[in-house]
A = this chain, B = another copy of it.
Amino acid sequence: LEENNIVFIKAQIFELHPADIADIVKHLGLDEGKHLFDYLDEEQAAQTLVELDEDIREKLLELFSPKEIAEQVDQLDSDDAADLLGELSEQRKDEVISKMEDKEHASEVIDLLRYDEDSAGGLMQSEFVQVRSSFTVKRCIIELRKQAEEVEKVYSIYVVDESDVLLGVLSLKRLLFAKPTSLISELYQSNNIKYVKTNSHKEDVADIMKRYDLIAIPVVDYQNKLVGRITIDDVVDVMQEEAEKDYQLASGITDNVEATASVFKNTKSRLPWILIGLLGGVLSSLILQNYEADIQINPVLAFFIPLITATGGNVGVQSSAIVVQGLASKEFMFKGIFKRILKELLVGVLIGLICGILIFLFNFFTNTDIIMGITIGISIFIVVIIAAIFGTLFPLILNKLKIDPALATGPFVTTTNDILGLSVYFMIAFMLYN
């Protein structure tokens, strides 16, 4: 940032959304990025921090004094403030909290820090608008004016009784069109109100909000008292993470592996998956050892090892992925597991038949040894069926054991299919040739 650009930047930066400023900070790097914060107003600076990636934010915050961080945290909604504080060390967290000016806000944030970050309590914010059912519309609007100052986005008004127990929801639209003397109790919707408990899992919160097309959901404690709300923007992130997790498991990477991670960190999180595959390869080599003499007599047998392992692996991963998606969308709720396996068996037979015939024909026209064609054809047929069944059962078993079934689509299932497939292939070859 050259000196003569400062005026220009100051004029431009106020126009930008914090998400865009965060991108500029990312581009500038830490030192110049920190410098840029001097030109932002407090609200903008705080929101820009929220928009930054966690790893960059952590490094950047080390350049801020506790007082500077406290100023930013004062500006933030309680949920963002709690997330930001949660990333600091215990000591620094306490320092920042003690420096916060808005003591009420500080105590709200401290409350939120108690909750598990994977629970509704960890997602919710303390900023929401609530009124008593006994209020008139007029009093409600006065109350609203008071509360709405600190609530950035009001989607609906929550109606509670004298002990803050959630009774229902009132839309702003309804309030706008009501007579000032009407009672809230005559206006609000109390039937079929969707809410979550503070200890609900964040994925369940996401499921409910998606299922019922909600943009905000109230959160109650174990006494049904209203304690917070969760807005759709935070839940969108949860859904995104969830979907990405499946993809990551299928590709054998963990969510720590980001393009920006260091070489060492990158290697460390990828290595376990690779070592599983390596172990599988070693086991395969031990199985093949038993057939050393057969391979020596008929090396053509070895030519089709990659074909067997690749086809088995591909079919197995497909079968697992279909089950994983079915489980995620709860499609299996009403369907029998047995029916699923039967169907997969039929699909396996069909795909196996097609592949078996194709590969037999390829052999028939390129190789004079017809037994080889029969061996590889039958093997592919059986390997495909086994892979389809195994690929279906494996995620179902994981799910029963409360392990994420998406794990099944990773290197795990391909490795097992390699071993199963090769055993079948060489057993059949052994039988047909001897």
Please give the number of chain A residues whose Cβ is less than 8 angstroms from any Cβ of chain B in the complex. Answer: 113
Q: Which of B263, B275, B302 contacts A302 (CB 8 A)?
A: B302
Cβ-based interface call for A304 (8 A): yes
Among A57-65, A85-93, A116-124, A140-148, the stretch in contact with B: A140-148
Report chain B residues within 8 Å CB of A23. Answer: 333-334
Q: Are B282 and A362 in contact (CB under 8 A)?
A: yes
Q: Are A278 and B307 in contact (CB under 8 A)?
A: yes
- In the complex, A315 Cα to B317 Cα: how many Å? 16
Q: Are A307 and B334 in contact (CB under 8 A)?
A: no
Among A95-103, A195-203, A352-360, the stretch in contact with B: A352-360
Q: Are B307 and A306 in contact (CB under 8 A)?
A: no
Would you give the 0/1 interface string for A207-236, flagging 1 where the beta carbon is closer than 8 Å to chain B?
000111101000000000000000011001
Within 8 A of B (CB), among A305-343: 305-311, 313-315, 317-318, 320-323, 325-326, 331-335, 340, 343
Within 8 A of B (CB), among A250-285: 250-253, 257-260, 263-264, 266-267, 270-271, 273-275, 277-278, 280-282, 284-285
Q: Which of B240, B270, B292, B318 contacts A300 (CB 8 A)?
A: B292
CB A355 to nearest CB in B, in angstroms, measures: 6
Q: Are A270 and B351 in contact (CB under 8 A)?
A: yes
Q: Which of B252, B284, B350 contacts A263 (CB 8 A)?
A: B350
Listed in ascending order, the chain A residues whose CB lies under 8 Å from chain B are 15-17, 19, 23, 26-27, 141, 144-145, 148, 153-155, 171-173, 175-177, 191-192, 210-213, 215, 232-233, 236, 239-240, 243-244, 246-248, 250-253, 257-260, 263-264, 266-267, 270-271, 273-275, 277-278, 280-282, 284-285, 288-289, 292, 295-296, 299-311, 313-315, 317-318, 320-323, 325-326, 331-335, 340, 343, 346-347, 350-351, 354-355, 358-359, 362, 384, 409, 411, 414-415, 418, 422
Instruction: Give 10 nearest A-B pairs by CB, closest first.
Output: A281-B307, A243-B243, A251-B321, A259-B326, A302-B302, A284-B306, A285-B303, A213-B233, A295-B299, A288-B303
Q: Can you pick out 19 interface pairs between chain A and chain B where the beta carbons lie within 8 Å of each other?
A: A15-B192, A144-B177, A154-B171, A210-B233, A213-B233, A232-B232, A232-B236, A243-B243, A251-B321, A259-B326, A260-B335, A266-B343, A266-B347, A267-B350, A274-B314, A278-B310, A278-B311, A285-B303, A302-B305
